[in-house]
Amino acid sequence: MDAGYIPQFVRGPIGVLQVQPGMPAAEAGLREGDAILSVDGHSFHTVQALLAYMQTGKGNPISLVVQRNGATLPPIVASPTKIDTDWKLGFAPLPIPFRSEPLPLNQAVTKSGAFCLDNSTLIVQVLGRILTHKVSISQLSGPVGIARMAGDAAETRGWYPKLGLASAISLNLGIINLMPFPILDGGLILLLLIESVLRHDINFRVKERIYQAAFVLLLVFFAFIIANDVTRLPIFAHLKP
């Protein structure tokens, strides 16, 4: 009996679902239903890869080879425009097609173990990069950001995006809760270990001050994350320089 499945993304050109009027894609002649075969001679299969490529170009014009109604058109040139902090063309892509491959129970257990291991170490890597200033803390998402990701997952075809997001959130919440920070379970475990080494309880007043300071820091951190989430909402995009 099969249990679980793994998505197999179908490699292909980036499909154009919708073109925003007045944006570089529309001005260059891109239309709904087009397929972007290559950009500057490079083949991209996801819009995320294309966006990353445009960020490195910092707004330089790019040459697109487009397929329309089965026919390959001559290359067209588009100049990305900066929206918020990213360079974009102004079109909505078609969802990436994929097929589901059912897995036997033993392979499903192996894959789930690898998923948990990868995601449990990922959060530690991200926190390490934030502390070493390799990643901005503004990249973190809170309740508002999670709600937006949940909405995107709900609109995506198939169960994998929904189950993957739910499992990733549950796993990361458990790992965060075990971190050695006061108020969290990991902080309580740390204090118990310290008391076991000292062989006596830590002064109640000291514990109280530790928890109060940690509570204030946690509130400030949550306020910052939520404010950061809210400012990234599309309704506030026009307020950014």
What number is the average pLDDT over the span 164-169?
A: 80
Q: What pTM does this model have?
A: 0.50
The structural domains of the chain, with segments of one domain joined by +, span 2-96, 103-239
- Cα 35 to Cα 39, 65, 89, 90, 241, distances in angstroms: 11, 9, 14, 15, 32
pLDDT digits (tens, 9 = 90+) for 117-164: 777 777 777 777 777 777 667 667 778 878 888 887 787 766 777 877
Residue 184: pLDDT band with limits 50, 70, 90: confident
Residue 89 and residue 48: Cα distance in Å, rounded? Answer: 12
For residue 238, pLDDT over 50 is answered with no
Superfamily of domain 2-96: PDZ domain (2.30.42.10)
Q: Which of 9, 21, 93 is nearest to 51 (CA)?
A: 93
